Amino acid sequence: MADGGGGGDGVMPDPTVRNLLEQESLKWVFVGGKGGVGKTTCSSILSILLASARQSVLVISTDPAHNLSDAFQQRFTKFPTLVRGFNNLYAMEIDPKVENDDFANEGMEGFLSELTNAIPGVDEAMSFAEMLKLVQTMDYSVVVFDTAPTGHTLRLLQFPATLEKGLEKMMALKNKFGGLLNQATRLFGLGDELNEDAMLGRLEGMKDVIEQVNKQFKDPDLTTFVCVCIPEFLSLYETERLVQELAKFEIDAHNIIINQVLFDEEAVESKLLKARIKMQQKYIDQFHMLYDDFNITKLPLLPEEVCGVQALQNFSRHFLTPYKAALKRGTVEEVEQRVSLLKSALQEAESELDRLRKGKQVA
């Protein structure tokens, strides 16, 4: 289990994300979890909150679905773009599968496809290395990754090993064929652009970048992973798997965001919703039991999507202050509201019954 936020001494960790805003040394924030749990909304809001505490923030989507543009309602590309309404928050969307343009220009595409087939994941590794190189030259205070579903995220962390394999394969080829490759490239008039030393240099350079970044990823002062989930069995299971994997990679994780929560205090009359609240509570209790040293933030299920900067900013208050239901069950106000809702429901049902009776008479 990754180290958490101080639950061992009997003090419950703060159920908000304030710890992330207060950690001034933080450089990389990964936001991950199962598909469809609200990662993009959470990473967008975290980046907005960080922008109020840090000098400059970059939020990057490495998910081919690219929901960042939908969340902010602004078109983003593979180059950092200033988010409308901010002067220090930038966003970019990269597709790990289609980032090989640079290589194509260097006459390497044939070689690359060979290498890609030989070592699964090397194309993603290279594009990720290029992207990290770019990000490092830009010098943002903190970078938030809105990552693709869990498996992809963990693959990013295995990239140094993947590239190591690629380099070993290339060295083996070099030793096997000696100067044959160089002679062939000169024979076909390709000059030095397919020179194997240049290729090896390129791969070595990328490996260095990724190893340097991975060293930072394993430093809890610089990097943390925020797990987003919903209070259901599959999501609990996926989160546990993710936390175990992160511990294996020595990546710090001590924040869990439970999204789409129905709160028991709400004045709910629906039997379906009441059953759902009961089911959710069972899993929320399990989250608290498993991760008693984590900062666990619960977010309410909303009747509408959170889209656009204004909606994201409005919703961000639940990240800093635990959600409280507007009306507490059993109070005079709540019972009054329930009576008024039941009256209007009764009126609707009576008028519907009237319509049906009249329709029957006409027939």
Residue holding tokens 């991950």? 32
- Residues with Cβ within 8 Å of 210's Cβ and at least 6 positions away in sequence, in order, are 125, 128, 129, 132, 159, 160, 163
| C-alpha span between 305 and 282 (Å, rounded) | 26
Q: Is 147 annotated as a binding residue?
A: no
Residues 6+ apart with CB under 8 A from 324: 265
Nearest to 284, CA basis, from 304, 264, 261: 261
269 labeled binding residue: no
Does 359 show up as a binding residue in the annotation? Answer: no
One-character DSSP codes across 32-55 = E-STTSSHHHHHHHHHHHHHHHSS
Side by side, the strands of the sheet bearing 57-61 are: 81-82, 89-93, 57-61, 142-146, 28-32, 223-229, 255-261, 295-300
Q: Is 8 annotated as a binding residue?
A: no
Residues catalogued as catalytic:
63
Which residues share a beta bridge with 28?
143, 223
Determine contact, residues 120/28, Cβ cutoff 8 Å: no
Q: Does the annotation flag 33 for ligand binding?
A: no
Provide the token pair at 157: 């962390």
Angle in degrees, 0-180, between the axes of helices 159-177 and 150-157, rounded to the nearest 10: 50
Q: Across-strand partners of 90?
A: 58, 82
Q: Would you say 137 is a known binding-site residue?
A: no
Q: Which of 75, 24, 71 is nearest to 48 (CA)?
A: 71
Extract the tokens encoding 141: 């205070």
83 assigned ligand-binding residue: no
Using an 8 Å Cβ cutoff, are 192 and 198 in contact?
Answer: yes
39 known ligand binder: yes
- Which two three-digit tokens encode residue 190? 């390709």
36 in a labelled binding site: yes
Helix ranges (DSSP H) in 218-257: 233-248
196 is in an annotated binding site: no
Q: What are phi and psi of 261, to 5 degrees?
A: -90, 135
* Residues in the annotated binding site: 34-41, 232, 259
Q: Which residues does the annotation place in the binding site for ATP?
A: 34-41, 232, 259
